[in-house]
Every structure is written in structure tokens, then in C-alpha cells.
Amino acid sequence: MNNNDKVYVAGHRGMVGSAIVRNLNARGITNIVTRTSRELDLRNQQAVNDFFAKEKPNYVFLAAAKVGGILANNIYRGEFLYDNLMIEANVIEAARVHDVTKLQFLGSSCIYPKLAEQPMMEDALLTGPLEPTNEPYAIAKITGIKLCDAYRSQYGCDFISVMPTNLYGPNDNYDLESSHVLPALVRKFHEAKKNGGKEVVMWGTGSPKREFLHADDLADACVFLMETFSDFGFVNIGTGTDVSILELAQTIKEVVGYEGEITHDLTKPDGTPRKLMNVDKLKSMGWAHTTELRTGINKVYGALNTQPWY
């Protein structure tokens, strides 16, 4: 990519898309085209095609998706499957039709089997059953990977896929009904501190282990891979280290300065026991993360004063 190329970032107001925009701007790439979901419904094939015909982007980062945590994934199963299938199919097809130079599709670590060998290598895809609570979302993301591969094979399109681990950072979702675990816990501990609550209730046992990557690190990896990776398959993006959900909660408790107790709601599901990325492939290309978890949580918590519930 150079400064004259037009870059379309789909999902630019989300945590991932906004981080990619910041990273591109920092590199001097400012010819960035965006649309909000109100301006362009990516589920509408004609609208997407008209947009590509008008704007003719050279590069596309496909970071738009319908996302959520365990609760939202499990309740809105049809929406998560349909919306994500339509978004990726419409954008990828329009990119082919309108001769986009390169497209990058962003997936999710939930594509891996529930009991995949840890840490999860890229070749573990489709080697076992998925985690039931987020199976529809995972199937949609797997389809996106396979669509990029199929277009590379049939049409010669330079379409690539990347697989981020669990993310956090600016523009995260703090809605307790649809957020992921890290922002949900940040909000719970902050509100308990503010309101003098004696306990913060965690879902499940706290024993599952998760890997967390700051969104700005992800964006840096995405731009790096856009410029260096061109092949079938995909590349894991993560830190290569993980913590238990209980350890995460204890770290957030310390960062927030909450002095109450952590208790457990054992009627709620734990989800997948462990989801750790093997990032050897990415490291061999010359990229590694720079933001450690406690540092990242401090950054996130220090910037929350714009939240209405803060």
C-alpha cells in the first residue's frame, strides 16, 4: 500500500476497524473510505455493489461483523449466522467484480474445534466439533476463510484471511448483555466500586483460559500482513500467552481498585476450556505484540470517562 491507494475499512467504527484506521493514518495512508451501517447495509448485495462501483477501493479490510459474547451468540443464533454470511459474501464478491488489488478478511479464534490441541495451530481448522454456544458465528467465519481461498483458486484474487484472538481496547462494547468477558468485567468492577458493592459475580468457575490482544496490536499485525502475506489459508494473530478468567478478573480488580469479593454463578456456562493461539507462523514473518495485558487494561480503564455509565 502507498499513500495514494484508496483503502476501504469495513466496520470502521468498531474496535478493530477504528484501530486499523488509526494505524493506517499513522503510516501516512489517509485516502480511507468508510461507511456507517446506516449509510451502507453490508447485508444488501445491490447496495454493496453500488458502493464498490462508485468508490473503487484498491485495498479492503473486512472488519465488519455482527459480534457478541457467549450470551448474545447463543440467543441470536440465526442473526449471527445470516448477518455474517451476507456481509462477507457481499463484500468479497464485490471486491472480485470491481478488481480490488487485495482484500483481508478478519475471522475469530472461535473457528477452532472446542477441544482443539493447545496452542491452536492454523491446521487445526475443521478437525473437530465447534463450541456449541458460538457455532453459528464460527461457521460464518469459516465460510469467509473458505470463500477467500476459493476466489484465490478460481479467479486469482489476492484475498487473505487473518485470525485474531480475543481482543480489547478503544471502542470496545461494554453492554453487559452483548459484550465479551474483559470489557464486561471492567464495567462490573467499576460499577461495584462506584456503588459500594460487596461482590462482583463472575459467570462460571473462572477456570477457562483465554488469550487477550490489544486492538492496536491487532491493527498493526493486520496492516503488516496486508503488505507481506499472500497465500491460501490464514494467519493466527495473538500473543501466544493466556490467563484464566479468574486471573483476568483479579487483574482487573487490582487495576480498578475494587476491594470487594469475587463470587461465581455456577449456573452459567464456562464456554471453551482453553483458546490459545499458536503464533509461530506470524512470529516467523517478523511480527510480535508489544502491549502486555496489565498495561493494556490500565490504558483501557484510564480512557473510560467517556462512557455514560462511568
Assess whether 137 carries a catalytic annotation: yes
Q: For the chain, what percentages of helix, strand and coil (3-state, to nearest 5) are there?
A: 45, 15, 40
Give φ, ψ of 155 to 5 degrees: -110, -10
Q: How many CA atoms lie within 13 A of 185 on its CB side?
A: 24
Check the annotation: does 270 bind a ligand.
yes
CB contact at 8 A, 279 and 237: yes
Check the annotation: does 106 bind a ligand.
yes
Check the annotation: does 98 bind a ligand.
no
Q: Taking the alpha carbons of 92, 93, 95, 99 in that order, is the dihedral positive or negative? A: positive
Check the annotation: does 204 bind a ligand.
no
CB contact at 8 A, 65 and 42: no
Check the annotation: does 127 bind a ligand.
no
Check the annotation: does 182 bind a ligand.
no
Which cell numbers in the block locate residue 31?
485516502
Check the annotation: does 67 bind a ligand.
no
Check the annotation: does 244 bind a ligand.
no
Check the annotation: does 17 bind a ligand.
yes
Q: Taking the alpha carbons of 129, 131, 89, 16 in that order, is the dihedral positive or negative? A: negative
CB contact at 8 A, 162 and 107: yes
Check the annotation: does 125 bind a ligand.
no
Query: Whose CA is closest to 215, among 257, 182, 256?
Result: 182
What DSSP designation does 159 have?
A: E
The active-site residue out of 8, 59, 112, 137 is 137
Check the annotation: does 214 bind a ligand.
no
Q: Which residues define the annotated binding site for NADP(+)? A: 11-17, 106-109, 141, 164-167, 180
Active site residues: 137
Q: Which residues carry a binding-site annotation for substrate?
A: 188, 203, 210, 270
* Residues annotated in a binding site: 11-17, 106-109, 141, 164-167, 180, 188, 203, 210, 270
